[in-house]
Amino acid sequence: MLHLIFAVLYIRGFAAEDGPHVDTSLGRISGFYRSSYEGRIFSAFEGIPYAKPPVGDLRFEAPQPVSPWNDVLNASTQYRCKQAKNPIMLFGGKLGTEDCLYLNVYVPKRQPSESDSYDVIVNIHGGAFMAGDPTLAGPQFLMDRDVIYVNMNYRLGILGFLSTEDHAVPGNNGLKDQQLALKWVQAHIKQFGGNSNSVTLMGLSAGGVLVHFHYFSAGSKGYFQSFYDMYLDTFSGLFHRGISQSGTALMSWAIQENALQKARKLAVSLNCKDADTKTFINCLKTIPIDRLIKQTKDFYHVAHFPIAPFAPVLEVESVSSFITKHPYKQLEDGEVNNAPWLAWIAKDEGISGAMFLTKILDEVENHWNEWSEHFFDYSHVCPEVSKKEVAQKIKTFYFKDEKLSKSNIHSLIEVFGDRLFKVGFETAVQKQVKVAEARVYAGIYGYKASVSFKNIIGNELEGVPHASESILLHDSKFTTELLSDVRLSESDISMKNILVDFVTSFAKDGKPQSNGVEWKPITVNDPKYMLINGVNNVTMTEIPKLTPIEFWESLNFMENSRAERLRDEL
């Protein structure tokens, strides 16, 4: 075994020394070689720092640009940000470090050249803002095409999205990490052969939400000044197109409510007791990282819900604020970044919620009134006196007051899908189409791959669950570790090529297409979605109404258009 370890270290060191290299204004970077799905050798640079380590006094602070280095940077290490064990995402735990602000760059040739001008795709990984890392969305499939692919770490959970709702910790440090990483791309991607004026953001689930958030931040539009601006000859914003997979800024779990209350709860649990936010934040900066992250457990209530106890917030006004106005309000006022947007959802999104309840259906039935607020994410947007009534309304609407059982499990999938994904998707698409100058594309992914999810979601839950398409867009450590069989069938390979076509053509000119099939933009008068149901069943279809938006609006949750209402009654 010892000989094997030395052999692996020798090979990695040899690859880093004799492999691809890039000279940047920060210093020289040395990478290694990998092989794409179809056998193309490409350059990989993993573990490039884009910010100073956010540790010690920099914990809970906005990220600071990394300093230049003198020696050659051996970019052959993957990083994961510190995170709590997260059963709902099926990954997370002891792995991960607080010093984690690194990104990876993949170039579709052996030696990058500044003379190239590849389109750039930057992926923001998912994980409910609480977990995950770049290995969830690897480069193997995309490197069969002529694009540069970048993925990144950003701070998660308490470290990335704690907020005191004031200037002590305004919040959104995870988003600010991404913004700084995009600044890095603008400043340095040319040295890797990339076109800084053709950057497409891409993300799944929380990653899709975060992509959409960049459409509402002045900093991502190009008005944020930073260290990296000095390197930019021409600057037209940090990104130019966006792809949101199963996530928009109007999802019910996309914005954190009662952030200060949660920050105080965390402080009290760690004996940082003080009414002054700056004082207890200074105390939290001294807490050992494992002890701090362990407290995440206090913010889940039942069956791993709510899915995102820490999430983006609406900040107080400051020079470094990422977002201060609700995305719903910005859409109403026509304040959205002028960039094409491609968004889709999976046909059976709700499986991702229902799968955690299939073995406790009787308990869920007995505790429906108490647990619903956590399942369907309305704890902080509904008056306490109304919660029981709301729970019953949901039960009546989706289950017709029938007892919850395996015979009506499809209704549980439907309610989870509508509340956590589809209503927020449809609302965002409808709103953005009305006000955006740039094209908006919408779709529904319904292809059932031969790769099996059954050992994760159970045999009783049939359909196309959340994140199904990711298996055919990215190689993933998650996939190889948790699925029973990751071999692609001929049909899967064909669908993979269709999806990669859509993504890379959109990254090129903002017009997704594949094998003569053109994904047309949705319009107010022509509400057509792309339905991706099979290799030979990819069609534009008119869908005037996707979800029961009116029902959810009738519950009068204090979110979206009502988000700024005074909440004294809560």
Active site residues: 205, 349, 466
Local structure of residue 45 (DSSP, 8 states): E
Sign of the torsion angle spanned by Cα atoms 447, 459, 308, 570: positive
Phi and psi for 564 in degrees, rounded to 5? Answer: -90, 5
Angstrom distance (rounded) from CA 104 to CA 121 = 12
Distance CA 134, CA 194 (A): 20
Residue 173 contacts residue 155 (beta carbons within 8 Å): yes
Is residue 203 within a helix (H) or strand (E), and if so which, with residue range?
A: strand 194-204
Query: How many angstroms separate the Cα of 74 from the Cα of each of 29, 104, 153?
Result: 6, 12, 18
CA–CA separation, 182 and 245 (whole Å): 19
Are the C-beta atoms of residues 205 and 346 closer than 8 Å to each other? no
Q: State the residue for tokens 């031969």.
A: 450
H-helix or E-strand containing 542?
strand 537-542
d(CA 168, CA 315): 11
Position of tokens 């975060």? 210
Instruction: Report the distance separating Cα 44 and Cα 28, nearest Å.
Output: 14
Contact by Cβ (8 Å): 103, 89: no
Alpha carbon 212 to its chain centroid, in Å, reads: 9
Q: b/e for 408-439, b at 16 or more Cβ within 10 A? A: bbebbbbbbbbbbbbbbbbbbbbbbbeebebb
Strand 537-542 relative to strand 73-74: parallel, antiparallel, unpaired?
Answer: unpaired
- The number of CA neighbours under 13 Å toward the Cβ of 235 is 23
Residue 253 CA to residue 545 CA, distance in Å, equals: 22
How far, in Å, are 78, 195, 207, 383 from residue 103 at the CA level?
9, 17, 15, 42
Backbone angles phi, psi at 204, to 5 degrees: -110, 140
